[in-house]
């Protein structure tokens, strides 16, 4: 990592920062601002990561906008509420669906590359936390270490090897801090 490069933790939004709405074993984003519920321990976990020097950036797919079942203004209101409540530098959103074949829709790493260019982030020393295969695959493709929050969704599983699987964001933060401490020669 160069002296000017920064380490970041990229975080998926729904299911990582806030509660996903789970129907028939599949996660969905809140449809309204009133359905937004920040997950327990999220603010504290992010504060600890920020105190350790990580830049915190949300990266989210919001294909319901392209599908016409969600308004962009609602997504942006939810993002604004999260930014007001949590120590995030930014939330980057992809509003496309798979058929658009964009570079920003996870599992493509475009949002991570965009953030790296904007903030001078060293991707190999950074982390991607997500609750779905698309999230961790985007992190892997960007060269980040990956953390899956495994909620047992009934959907496709990550095909690439994961660096860590946990059941909550606070657990992910502990694992990341352990990696940071080890990298700095503080332990085995």
Q: What is the distance of C-alpha 61 from the center of its chain?
A: 10
**Residue 172 near residue 150 (C-beta atoms within 8 A):** no
Neighbours of 8 (CB within 10 A): 26
CA distances from 181 to 52, 54, 104, 126, 146 (A): 10, 13, 32, 14, 17
- CA atoms within 13 A of residue 21's CA, in its CB half-sphere: 9
Strand, helix or coil for residue 170: helix
- Is 14 catalytic? The answer is yes
Nearest to 176 by CA among 14, 45, 19, 88: 45
- The active-site residue out of 12, 131, 135, 163 is 12
- For the question of residue 12 being annotated catalytic, the response is yes
Q: Exactly one of 14, 64, 135, 163 is catalytic; which is it?
A: 14
Q: What is the DSSP letter of 44?
A: H
What is the set of active-site residues? 12, 14
């Amino acid at each position: 990592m160069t002296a000017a490069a920064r380490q970041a933790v990229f975080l998926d939004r729904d299911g990582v920062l806030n509660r996903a709405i789970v129907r028939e074993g599949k996660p969905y984003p809140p449809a309204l601002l009133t359905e937004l519920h920040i997950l327990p321990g999220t603010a504290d976990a992010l504060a600890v990561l920020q105190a350790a020097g990580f830049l915190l950036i949300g990266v989210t797919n919001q294909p319901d906008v392209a599908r016409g079942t969600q308004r962009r203004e609602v997504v942006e209101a939810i993002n604004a509420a999260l930014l007001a409540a949590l120590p995030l530098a930014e939330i980057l959103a992809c509003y496309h669906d798979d058929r658009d074949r964009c570079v920003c829709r996870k599992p493509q790493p475009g949002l991570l590359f965009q953030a790296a260019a904007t903030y001078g982030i060293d991707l190999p020393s950074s982390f991607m936390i997500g609750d779905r295969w698309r999230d961790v695959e985007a992190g892997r493709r960007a060269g980040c270490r990956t953390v899956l929050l495994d909620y047992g969704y009934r959907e496709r599983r990550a095909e690439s090897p994961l660096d860590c699987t946990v059941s909550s964001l606070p657990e992910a933060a502990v694992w990341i801090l352990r990696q940071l401490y080890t990298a700095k020669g503080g332990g085995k």
